[in-house]
Amino acid sequence: MPPSKILDGKRVAAEIRSEAAKEAARLTEDGHAPGLAVVLVGDDPASGVYVRGKETAAREAGIREQTFRFPTLTEAALLKTIDILNRDDSVDGILIQLPLPKGISTQKVLEAVDPKKDADGFHPFNTGRLVQGKPAPVPCTPAGIMEMLRREGIALQGLRAVVVGRSDIVGKPMASLLLASNCTVTIAHSKTRDLPGVCREADLLVAAIGRAGLVTGDYVKEGAIVVDVGMNRIDRAEDVARFFPGDAAREAAFRKNGSVLMGDCDPSTVPARASRYTPVPGGVGPLTIAMLLSNTVALAHARAKVRRTE
């Protein structure tokens, strides 16, 4: 893939993180150091990796980060923990690491977070404000994608956008943000009739369905912009050979680790048809943590402003 075609999520994420660090330093000088609380329940290995990445990024940005790790916890005890954090004046943002263990209601837990401390933008109050076009914390992945498109100079107004995936975390908020930017938006999913045909209508195609290599070149209109949100682990040698033919580095990584990461798009066929394209890894992934920092700093700024007027 020629470098000119790559949508550089790493570069944009570095810019966002730098901006967040500068604002965090300014707030700290004014006596309101931004604080982020991360709550991790259970022993999911991937969640542990994600949380460690968030811890490191927050510290590097000058954000006071606390992680509350619970190998096991009842729903009632988790709700009590969230209540304590809601009332803790040193905490500006709260993040509940998903998925939660079985037996704990994700909806009930997310709704327990104070909307004014909702670092992930998942609270129904903030979701409603997003749909209405009002200021609110926005889920980090779609917010990061919008920042990447803006900073890469892509004009969205009037584009036909197709979002493949309807999750509350990516698909639905992504569609709302694109609609607010004057795109004509279609949400497609696994039950969509003639999914390849629907995708081929897109000037901007966002793949966020969570299935490795589902979107092939046949799904992509010549010259479309493709944003691959997927992060899937493939562990069969035949899939590595199919999706990464002749890629010695991927083959070596597979031999070493027994698996490699790839997105929802087929990297062997999609880039040739796209005008711009996000690689996996290194495209959308870095933006998610960057926007978590940005959201936390924005929440701290809003709470500091309220404090000054009291």
Given the residues 8, 92, 118, 120, the one annotated as active site = 120
Q: Specify whether 92 is catalytic.
A: no
Q: Is-catalytic flag, 8?
A: no
d(CA 277, CA 6): 5
Catalytic residue among 8, 92, 97, 228: 97
Q: How many angstroms separate the CA atoms of 276 and 9, rounded?
A: 12
Please name the residue that has the structure tokens 């990796």.
Answer: 49
Print the SS3 string covering the chain.
CCHHHECCHHHHHHHHHHHHHHHHHHHHHCCCCCEEEEEEECCCHHHHHHHHHHHHHHHHCCCEEEEEEECCCCHHHHHHHHHHHHHCCCCCEEEECCCCCCCCCHHHHHHHCCHHHECCCCCHHHHHHHHCCCCCCCCHHHHHHHHHHHHCCCCCCCCEEEEECCCCCCHHHHHHHHHHCCCEEEEECCCCCCHHHHHCCCCEEEECCCCCCCECHHHCCCCCEEEECCCEEECCHHHHHHHCCCCHHHHHHHHHHCCEEECCECCCCCCCCCCEECCCCCCCHHHHHHHHHHHHHHHHHHHHHHHHHC
97 is catalytic: yes
Beta-carbon neighbour count of residue 295 at 10 Å? 25
Token pair in block for residue 88:
């803790």
Write down the catalytic residue from 8, 54, 228, 266. 54
- Active site residue ranges: 54, 97, 120
